[in-house]
Structure 1
Amino acid sequence: MTVIAATAIAVSVFAAFQVASELLDWELRNTAENQLRADARVLAANAERAGLAQVQLPPYPGSGRLVRVVLPDGSTRTPAGQPGLPPVSEHAGRVARGTSADLMESKDGDDDGYRIYTLRAGDGAVQVARVADDSPINRFGLGMLLIGLLCVVGGALVGRTVARTGLAPIDRLTAAAVRVANTRDLDADIPDEGGGEIRRLIQAINDMLAALRDSRRAQRLLAEDAAHELKTPLTSLRLNIELLVRLDRRGTLDTALSAESRTRLLNDLGAQVAELSTLAAELTDLARGDTSDENTELLDLADVVVAAAAQARSRLPDLEVALDVTSVWVSGRPAALQRAVLNLIDNAGKWSPADQPVQVRLRAEGASAVLEVDDAGPGIDAADVPRVFDRFYRADSARALPGSGLGLSIVQRVVHAHGGRATVARSARGGALLRVDLPAAVPAAPSGIEGQRPPGA
């Protein structure tokens, strides 16, 4: 900025000097020519009265004005002691002969340059001249040069001062960013100072630091909760395996455990492994956050619900799902939405009695697609409702059931990512009613999907 300021001032001073020099030169030349014309008219008037040969020529003052009379025969008269002027030019000769009008011309002598004005008088002409003096222009140029240098130096100093003052918040911002990078301390906000773009930049970086703090806090909580949730199934799995290994080393595996006990123990091991696999998959899904390679597309949510219900039936053959869905188009990621619907159905399947189906309803309501999943179980206690969608949260009544407490948290994350809302209430059958509202979309083209699917489809 200092170099730019100094360069801009130097260019401005140079341009001003050029313009001012031209104006000054024009003004001085115009003044000198007007004076030459006035002096020539006076001398011509005297010459016409007294004659060119007898007219009294003004004495040479030593500098400044010079005069000369051009006689009809081409000879000239000049005051005594006056320096010689350049020879009469051809154009000036035509003025003396009366074949041309008055003439203003520039001529170079032996040492100096002259401005010579020729005016016809009688049968000849008079000439008044002045030495072309460039000293005012030179003095003006020297003065402008000195002023320009002072302006450049002053502009550079002012530019540097302004730059350092204006960029001081940027320097402090850089130092704070380096400190955060070196210490990994995200809790130190950068002071909000400066104005305009700098203030907006600092606010944006503070917002970024806040988002990083929240992300780090969420990662820490996820790691702590995951370690806590993994501890119980891993401990149980390790104890059961150690028991089998110990009995096998002693050779008492067949005698110490009956066939029924071994079968039950192996089933427990299988269930624990399946629970760990599910927990690992859900932890991976949560750790990914909203990052996904899946593209958003326009889709019929009814197809997603039907596919999720079929997947739930294949995983739990005894689960009965009653579908009552209407074609509703939304914009979203099919796999993520199907995972969320599957989690809702799985959660309801844990609580619904064997003789009561899980009811899944999908309809359009205003500008929203409304999905409801209810069961005929005991419902959710009022104290547990605010924490239903929290990670790893499991009500006291649910701790004996399989699951990690992550399913509904994944549902809420997927719904929020699609601009929707997930809520919980009590169903008409006394169980839990989980409701999802998603923004509906207009289909791009008519589809072949039925407008209504019958219950149980």
Structure 2
Amino acid sequence: MSLRLTRWWRRRSLRARLTVIAATAIAVSVFLAFQVASELLGRQLRGAAEDQLRADSRVLAAEAERAGPAQVQLPPYPGAGRLVRVILPDGSVRTPAGQPALPPVSEEAGRVVRGGPADLMESDDSEEGHIVYTLRAGGGAVQVARAADDSPVNQFGFGMLLIGLLCVAGGALVGRTVARTGLAPIDRLTAAAVRVAQTRDLDADIPDEGGGEIRRLIQSINDMLAALRDSRRAQRLLAEDAAHELKTPLTSLRLNVELLIRLDRRGTLDSALPAESRTRLLNDLGAQVAELSTLAAELTDLARGDVSDESTEVLDLADVVVAAATRARSRVPDIEVALDVTSVWVSGRPAALQRAVLNLVDNASKWSPADQPVQVRLRAEGASAVIEVDDAGPGIDAADVPRVFDRFYRADSARALPGSGLGLSIVQRVVDAHGGRVAVARSVRGGALLRVDLPAAAPPALTAHRAAGEDDAVR
């Protein structure tokens, strides 16, 4: 039953839930108010009845004191209302003629006659539920009783029931009205979100209205739409740039392949293309294929953005730099890579950082003369880990510095060199994802100096030692 009720509740709309909650709250409030008011009214009525019984008993007791319990004149029974009785010293009783019989004298009332307590207020267990007051007088006692009258309480309860039903109905109506008014911004927000989903128009911001939580929700959704717009714009630019960059190598590759196919179909491949020309053409095809493969890999890496399955860990950046330099030496054997690294710990993704360092070294290798090494330095500087890669090449023109990290940007002097123009863009993305910054300057050797600053981290052993020290301090 509980599970079924839970499922029913979860299927209800927020407006229906607020209506039910408001009606239930009012019903519980009315019920509690009825219980408290009924209890107070019952006590007040009983107190008034007991006060009246005490007053009537004192009058009858005064007469019993003068005339004695056996001779006291008992008032005639009025036909309704109070009942009187005199208890004689021997335990017998006297009642007015025609008066309905009272319950037998209780043991506690008998003790009043025998000199126990001076008076006693009690209720019997009969169907009428009499309230009986016993007062000692003239060697015996007098009793005045009255049937408990619950009709005022019952009438009050019936009135409260009608009022409660009206309050519950009114509470449900008010709750529904409040829910409709309070949720109106949510309805408009939902309609706007549905319109954006149907039209795919991310430029349509949702109007900012309301206050408090509603305003924060609308602002959050508008921020999300702005992020989606930026993401769509970045994807469109990436696709346009990629199409532009792929056009030239694909065109060249297609023309060379069509030339080979056409000559081969004519049977004039050997005569039209001497061995030296054919070798040069095949080398060009291999270089173009390699360039396309590199471009495709870099486009894939760039398109992934910060989405990666690689977990973040505390690592020694020196290991990353050495691994990147080793890969760079294997890719460009003619260029020497000189390392000057110290152990600096950072928190990051090893493969992404290695790719960034490798791109820096590859970029420097294109410009550095064969007899001049690419210098890679790693050191700690304050709270940062600093990587510097410099070459002895011609350096970067001042006009190219602001755009050197843009996607597909290649300086005029670099047009003839291999590359896609994505390497340094990937470097900046990786550095930004790790909370660092990258900058370009001129090397003391005259070439380009690319500097990366990353937030340093405490070594794992030091972190564990500090944690152990804190635990000892707590103990």
Q: TM-score, normalised by structure 1?
A: 0.91
1:306 to 290, 313, 322: 322
Q: Which residue in 1 is equivalent to 2:25? A: 8
Q: Which residue in 1 is equivalent to 2:53? A: 36
2:288 to 272, 275, 280: 272
Q: Which residue in 2 is equivalent to 1:281? A: 297
The residue type paired with residue 197 of structure 1 is E
- Indicate whether 1:355 and 2:410 are aligned: no
Q: Which residue in 2 is equivalent to 1:409? A: 425
Q: 1:76 to 1:315 in 2, by over 3 A?
A: closer
- Indicate whether 1:206 and 2:222 are aligned: yes
Q: Which residue in 2 is equivalent to 1:102? A: 119
The CA deviation at 1:172 is 2.1
- Structure 1 residues 222-264: Cα deviation after superposition (integer angstroms, max 9, x where no partner): 1111111001000000000000111111111111112211111
- Distance, in Å, in 1 between the alignment partners of 2:89 and 2:461 is 107
User: SS at the partner of 2:135?
Assistant: strand
- Distance, in Å, in 2 between the alignment partners of 1:411 and 1:287 is 14
1:181 to 197, 211, 226: 197
The CA deviation at 1:357 is 2.3
Q: 1:371 to 1:96 in 2, by over 3 A?
A: closer
- Indicate whether 1:343 and 2:359 are aligned: yes
The residue type paired with residue 57 of structure 1 is L
Paired residues for 1:38-187 under 5 Å: 38-72=55-89, 75-79=92-96, 82-89=99-106, 91-98=108-115, 101-107=118-124, 112-187=128-203
Range with bigger deviation, 29-38 or 407-416:
29-38
Q: Which residue in 1 is equivalent to 2:347? A: 331
The residue type paired with residue 187 of structure 1 is D
Q: 1:94 to 1:445 in 2, by over 3 A?
A: closer
The residue type paired with residue 258 of structure 2 is E
- Distance, in Å, in 1 between the alignment partners of 2:294 and 2:177 is 64
- Indicate whether 1:26 and 2:26 are aligned: no
- Structure 1 residues 34-93: Cα deviation after superposition (integer angstroms, max 9, x where no partner): 221121112111121133344333344443333233344555444455444445445545
Range with bigger deviation, 61-70 or 265-274:
61-70
- Distance, in Å, in 2 between the alignment partners of 1:443 and 1:116 is 89
RMSD: 2.2
Paired residues for 1:221-260 under 5 Å: 221-260=237-276
The residue type paired with residue 182 of structure 2 is G
- Distance, in Å, in 2 between the alignment partners of 1:445 and 1:64 is 94
Higher helix share: 2
Q: Which residue in 2 is equivalent to 1:216? A: 232
- Distance, in Å, in 2 between the alignment partners of 1:93 and 1:311 is 113
- Distance, in Å, in 2 between the alignment partners of 1:208 and 1:153 is 42
- Distance, in Å, in 1 between the alignment partners of 2:189 and 2:312 is 38
Q: 1:240 to 1:147 in 2, by over 3 A?
A: same
Aligned length: 445
User: SS at the partner of 2:452?
Assistant: strand
The CA deviation at 1:162 is 1.7
Q: 1:51 to 1:442 in 2, by over 3 A?
A: closer
- Indicate whether 1:319 and 2:335 are aligned: yes
- Structure 1 residues 312-352: Cα deviation after superposition (integer angstroms, max 9, x where no partner): 12111211222222222222222211211111111111122
- Distance, in Å, in 1 between the alignment partners of 2:106 and 2:451 is 110
- Indicate whether 1:444 and 2:460 are aligned: yes
- Structure 1 residues 158-197: Cα deviation after superposition (integer angstroms, max 9, x where no partner): 2222222222222222222222222222222222233333
- Distance, in Å, in 1 between the alignment partners of 2:189 and 2:317 is 48
User: SS at the partner of 1:437?
Assistant: strand
Q: Which residue in 2 is equivalent to 1:455? A: none
The CA deviation at 1:97 is 4.9
Q: TM-score, normalised by structure 2?
A: 0.88
The residue type paired with residue 159 of structure 2 is G
Range with bigger deviation, 390-399 or 236-245:
390-399
Q: Which residue in 2 is equivalent to 1:429? A: 445
The CA deviation at 1:389 is 0.2
Q: 1:323 to 1:100 in 2, by over 3 A?
A: closer
- Distance, in Å, in 2 between the alignment partners of 1:75 and 1:323 is 124
Range with bigger deviation, 48-57 or 420-429:
48-57
Range with bigger deviation, 8-17 or 437-446:
437-446
User: SS at the partner of 1:264?
Assistant: helix
- Distance, in Å, in 2 between the alignment partners of 1:365 and 1:90 is 100
The CA deviation at 1:102 is 2.6
Range with bigger deviation, 7-16 or 403-412:
7-16
List alignment gaps of at least 5 residues for structure 2.
Answer: 1-17, 463-475
Q: 1:438 to 1:94 in 2, by over 3 A?
A: closer
User: SS at the partner of 1:423?
Assistant: strand
User: SS at the partner of 1:294?
Assistant: coil
- Distance, in Å, in 2 between the alignment partners of 1:87 and 1:360 is 114
Q: 1:99 to 1:341 in 2, by over 3 A?
A: closer
